[in-house]
Amino acid sequence: MLNRKIGLLCTSVAGVVLLSACGQSGDSEAASEATSDAGTTVLANGMTVAEQIKLRHDALEAIGDALKGAGDQLKSGSPDMAVIQAAAASVVEKSTGMEDWFPEGTGPDSGVETDALAVIWEDKPDFLTKVSDMQGAAAKFSEAAQGGDAAAIGGAMKELGGTCKACHDKYRKDDD
C-alpha cells in the first residue's frame, strides 16, 4: 500500500517537473541557438552585446538581492541596521551608470536572451527619466538607511520599489 502511494507521489512529482521542463525548454533552446553566433558584435563602449547584456543583468540581480536583503531585515522583528545600510549603499553603487546599460543594439533583436523590450529604444527619453527616478530613489533610500529609522527606511524602500516597478511594467518582458 505504502509503496504504491510513494510510487504515485513520485510519478506525480515527476510529471510536474517534466511539465515545467517542457514549458521552459522552448525559451532556453532558442536562447542557446541564438547565443552561438549572436552577441559578438562590439558596441561603441568596447563591450560585446552579450557582455553588455550580462553586465546589466548581473547588476540588476545584485540590486534585487540587496533590496531583498534589506526587506528581510525590515520584516524581522529586530532589523540589523548595518545590514540595511550596506544593502542600500550597494543599491546605489550597483545602479550607477544604469543610463548607459542599454545602448542601441542590445534589445531582443540582438539574438541574446534578454527581458528588455524593444519599446525602450522607441521611447528612450522616458526610459532614461525612469532610470534617473530609480537612481534618485536609491539615494534617498540610502539616506534613510543612514538615519536608522525603520519606518522611514520602509517608506523609502517602497518608493524605490515603485520606481523599479514603473520601469519593469513598461520596458521589461512580462513573464507573469
* Contact residues: other proteins, CB under 8 A: 1, 4-5, 8, 12, 16, 19-20, 23-24, 61, 63-69, 71-72, 75-76, 157-158, 161, 164-165, 168, 172, 175-176
DSSP state of 45: T
Helices 150-171, 49-75: inter-axial angle, 10-degree rounding: 150
Nearest one of 150, 133, 167, 176 to 85, comparing CA atoms? 150
| Least distance between other proteins and beta carbon 93 (Å) | 16
Minimal distance, residue 1 CB to other proteins, in Å: 7
Tell me how far, at minimum, the Cβ of 49 lies from other proteins, in Å.
23
d(CA 141, CA 160): 7
- Under 8 Å between Cβ of 130 and 167: yes
- The residue among 168 and 170 lying less far from other proteins, judged by its C-beta, is 168
What secondary structure letter does DSSP report for 164? H
Select 131 or 164, whichever has its Cβ closest to other proteins. Answer: 164
Q: Which residues contact 13 (CB under 8 A, 6 or more apart)?
A: none
Q: Which amino acid is at 24?
A: Q
Q: Which is nearer to other proteins, 50 or 137 (CB)?
A: 137
Find the shortest distance in angstroms from Cβ 83 to other proteins. 12
Q: CB-wise, 43 or 71, nearer to other proteins?
A: 71
When computed from its CA atoms, the radius of gyration of the chain, rounded to whole angstroms, is: 20
Name the minimum Å distance from CB 139 to other proteins.
Answer: 17
Q: Decide whether 6 or 82 has the Cβ nearer to other proteins.
A: 6
